């Protein structure tokens, strides 16, 4: 595994590349605690600095205790990633159509990125400073849109904090549905495990 910081602050999204573990704490509209979940995240450049792949597990699905040779350098060039994609081609992932398991390929254009906008769950993102990002997740369900607004802050190369509300249709006590209401709030904290990613997590998406 890479023993040192491999990212470039000057290159948008590069600080995120690597293997992470973290928890999401979910709170209700009035601040009451609802639940917590754990996940592993593997992020790599599928195409150097133009296509960023994001793979987040449900709970421990991506937990990986392998040898150093079982990891690949996510910045090691297209050949290393292409080899892993070829090896794992029999087990492609389904692109996200829910907020529970997040799997995306982002087209990156400078500080802006976006996932496939034709899916029922789509994402856009932008860098606001070298260690801060904002993402907008849009999910269409039953004719209504749910919007997740996430602020990402990386105070150190190995810490990633995410916070934001889910905004969308909320059924009030009178039974009426209100669009644009603030529902759940999600607070996430991730810790970097490695600057490399498990080769097993490098998979194509089924669109």
Confidence of residue 45 (pLDDT cuts 50, 70, 90): very high
Q: Average model confidence (pLDDT) for the chain?
A: 82
For 97-107, the pLDDT digits (tens) are 555 568 899 99
For 157-185, the pLDDT digits (tens) are 899 999 999 887 766 667 777 666 778 89
How far is residue 170 CA from its own chain's centroid?
A: 25
Query: Tokens representing 28?
Result: 């209700």
Give the span between the Cα atoms of 111 and 152, in whole angstroms. Answer: 14
Per-domain residue ranges of the chain:
14-206
For 114-149, the pLDDT digits (tens) are 999 988 889 999 999 989 999 999 887 777 778 899
pTM confidence score? 0.81
What proportion of the chain, given as a percentage, has pLDDT over 70?
77
CATH topology classification for 14-206? Lipocalin (2.40.128)
Residue 155 pLDDT > 80: yes
Q: Are residues 178 and 20 in contact, defined by beta-carbon separation less than 8 angstroms?
A: no
Locate tokens 């040779």: which residue? 69
Which ranges of the chain would DSSP assign to H, the alpha helix? 78-87
Estimate the share of the chain in helix, then strand, then coil, as percent rounded to the nearest 5: 10, 55, 35
Q: Are residues 95 and 104 in contact, defined by beta-carbon separation less than 8 angstroms?
A: yes
DSSP 8-state symbol, 24: E
């Amino acid at each position: 595994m890479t023993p040192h910081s491999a990212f470039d602050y000057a290159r948008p999204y590069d600080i995120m590349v690597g293997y992470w573990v973290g928890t999401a704490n979910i709170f209700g509209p009035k601040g009451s605690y609802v639940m917590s979940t754990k996940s592993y995240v593997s992020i790599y450049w599928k195409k150097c600095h133009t296509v960023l792949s994001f793979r987040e597990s449900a709970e421990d699905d991506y937990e990986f205790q392998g040898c150093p040779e079982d990891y690949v350098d996510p910045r090691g060039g297209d050949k290393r990633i292409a080899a892993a994609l070829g090896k794992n081609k029999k087990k492609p992932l389904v692109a996200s159509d829910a907020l529970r398991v997040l799997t995306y390929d982002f087209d990156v254009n400078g500080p802006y990125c976006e996932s496939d906008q034709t899916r029922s769950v789509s994402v856009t993102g932008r860098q606001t400073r070298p260690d801060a990002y904002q993402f907008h997740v849009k999910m269409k369900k039953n004719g209504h849109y749910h919007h997740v607004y996430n602020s990402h802050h990386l105070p150190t190369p190995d810490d990633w904090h995410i916070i934001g509300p889910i905004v969308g249709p909320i059924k009030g006590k009178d039974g009426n549905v209100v669009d644009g209401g603030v529902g759940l709030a999600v607070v996430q904290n991730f810790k970097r495990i490695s600057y490399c990613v498990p080769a097993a997590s490098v998979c194509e998406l089924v669109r």
